[in-house]
Structure formats: structure tokens, C-alpha cells
Amino acid sequence: MLNNYKPNQYYEEFISNREAILAHLSPNELVLKFLWKNPDEIIVKNFSNPPFFQLYFKNDIMFLLLKFEDLKWIDIPLIFTKNTKNLFSFDDENFPCNILLANSNTGKLFINKVFKMPKGITKAFVQGVHLQKDLSKKSAVEKINSIRSSYSASEMSRLSLGKL
């Protein structure tokens, strides 16, 4: 399905007039849709290159941290439902992460690339999915807001799994 998305095409489903990162986990890959208001050439160029992956765990929340060359750390809280966790199993060494970058004002897709998480991050990610507690949406949002009010993405990266 995601291979049907072609860069430099316009997709109505990406139009939201707000910035967001939408995450979807399947047994085969993690899909991250970055909806960015008018991304400039620097952002698009950075998203074209493989990011550095790290994970941060706090209060039953798993954050995927991404560092693209010239951009600041990006933190993505990942909450998975019981159904997702029960269906999820991955035994390979490098879990695929499909990253899409689209303009949230126009729906134009700039990037649709698959990058592989490193072996150690993949192992921690798979364990993190299964160990994550089932949280209500309200509880998860409260925990995410509390963590983000205490730590920036850059601070999370210093405390996380993985080293630059």
C-alpha cells in the first residue's frame, strides 16, 4: 500500500493544516508519516538520508528518537494497543521504518523511504512493544505530556539507548 505513494505527487489524506507525526506498526514495518507545514529544502534534504535511531523508555511510554543530519532530535511517543502487540512478532535483525514526509497544507509527498533500525535498537524496540503496558488514551497523553514537560528530545537522546 505504501509503495503506491510516489514523491512529488499530491495526496488529499496528507492535508491536515497542522503538523503531526502519525505512527502505524505492522508485523513488517513501522510507518511514520511526517505531516509538516511547508517543509523547506533543508528539511527535505535531511529526510532523504538515513536517520540515527534511539529509544527512550519512561513511565510505560516508548519514545522513538530520530536524528536527521542538520535537524534537531525528533521524539515520537509510541503507544500500541493490545491487539497490535498480540499480532506483532519480528525475528530479523533490522526492523524496517518507512518514513514519509508530506506537506500538511498541500498534501504533496516529498519523501517515501524505508530505513532499517540497527540490530540493538530493533531488539529493544521489539521488546518494548511487548512490554508496554495497556494504557487508556487519557493516561497515555498525561504521561507523554509529563515526560515532554520534563525532557526535551535532545535530553531524551542523552538518556536513551544508543550512542551517536
Given this model, what pLDDT does residue 57 score?
Answer: 93
Mean pLDDT across 74-99 = 83
- Mean pLDDT for all residues in the chain: 90
Given this model, what pLDDT does residue 163 score?
Answer: 47
Q: Please check the confidence at residue 151 and state whether its pLDDT lies above 50.
A: yes
Kindly report, residue by residue over 5-55, the tens digit of the pLDDT.
999 999 999 999 799 999 998 888 999 999 999 999 999 999 999 999 999
Mean pLDDT across 89-102 = 90
Q: Are 47 and 34 in contact (CB under 8 A)?
A: yes
Q: Residue 36 forms beta bridges with which residues?
A: 103
Task: Locate the domains of the chain by residue range.
Answer: 2-159
Given this model, what pLDDT does residue 131 score?
Answer: 83
d(C-alpha 64, C-alpha 98), whole Å: 13
Residue 132: DSSP 8-state? P
Cell of 111: 519523501
Q: Please check the confidence at residue 3 and state whether its pLDDT lies above 70.
A: no
d(C-alpha 86, C-alpha 112), whole Å: 28
> What is the gyration radius of the CA atoms in the chain, in angstroms?
16
In angstroms, what CA-CA distances link 52 with 26, 64, 104, 121, 136? 21, 10, 24, 10, 30
Mean pLDDT across 54-80 = 94
Mean pLDDT across 135-163 = 88
Strand order in the sheet with 30-36: 20-25, 30-36, 96-103, 109-116
Report, in this order, helix, strand and coil percent for the chain, each rounded to 5.
30, 30, 35
Range list of H helices, 9-162: 41-47, 82-87, 119-131, 137-150, 153-159
Classify each residue of 66-84 as buried b or exposed e, where b means 16 or more C-beta atoms within 10 Å of its C-beta.
Answer: bbbeeeebbbbbbbbeeee
Q: Report residue 152: phi and psi, to 5°.
A: -80, 170
